[in-house]
Amino acid sequence: MKKILFVQHGDVDKPGLLADACSAVGIGLDIRHPYLGEKIPSDLAGYSALALGGGGQSAYQVAEFPYLEGECELVRKAISADKPVLGLCLGAQLIARALGAEVFRAEQKELGFFPVTMSAAAAGDPLLSTLPRLFFPAHWHGDVFAIPTGAECMASSALTPNQAFRHGRATYAFQFHLEMTPPLFEELVDDAADDLQACGADPRALKKEATRVLPALQNAAVEFFKTWARLG
């Protein structure tokens, strides 16, 4: 059975719909937790693909979180071996950094549900064409990335011009949380209650919005993840 390595960066930063998609197509998901001290493999022998999840770390905090450098090296090894790579929020920033692009603080945090517009290039992409031209995913980030050399921007929002990119055949990076489900978003909100209060966000309103908008994206997201997982 094919197996994908998923690197999780926090207790609430779970694979969500990616796990559902992998299960549906009979592909295993080996989840590693380096923030708890678990080692991540030094190579991808035995894995068909690499996926990096979100998290509260910043991609450039390699001194505080040395395992992030190891993840960047895994990204480069996967791309060199033509294995699929997927990045979600922090994971996308790590892919960008691994490919030599800058990751930096945004002028304003993007937290909640805001419209994302897919690019004309995305409409012709065999995987991204399953997603709506305009949709409302979950956003939860204070950092952003530049588009790496050789990659192509695939989506944007009002606050974040670079919301997604594709590099090569099978490397996809999303600043937004395509994997998110309403229950998983509730966990994220509960975990960040103090931070939300500090920035004036209403946890109850966010949970209600998650229940309203996320189900509309679920089928398209799962189809994307299924197709990506089969590329390995």
Q: Catalytic site residues?
A: 89, 177, 179
- Find tokens 């998609």 and name the residue: 21
Instruction: Quote the radius of gyration of the chain (alpha carbons, Å).
Output: 16
- Find tokens 């209600």 and name the residue: 208
Taking the C-alpha atoms of residue 134 and residue 181, their distance in angstroms, rounded to an integer, is 18
Q: Are strands 151-156 and 116-118 parallel, antiparallel or unpaired?
A: antiparallel
What is the SS3 assignment for 94-150?
Answer: HHHHHCCCCEEEEEEEEEEECCEEECHHHHCCCCHHHCCCEECCEEEEEEEECCCCC
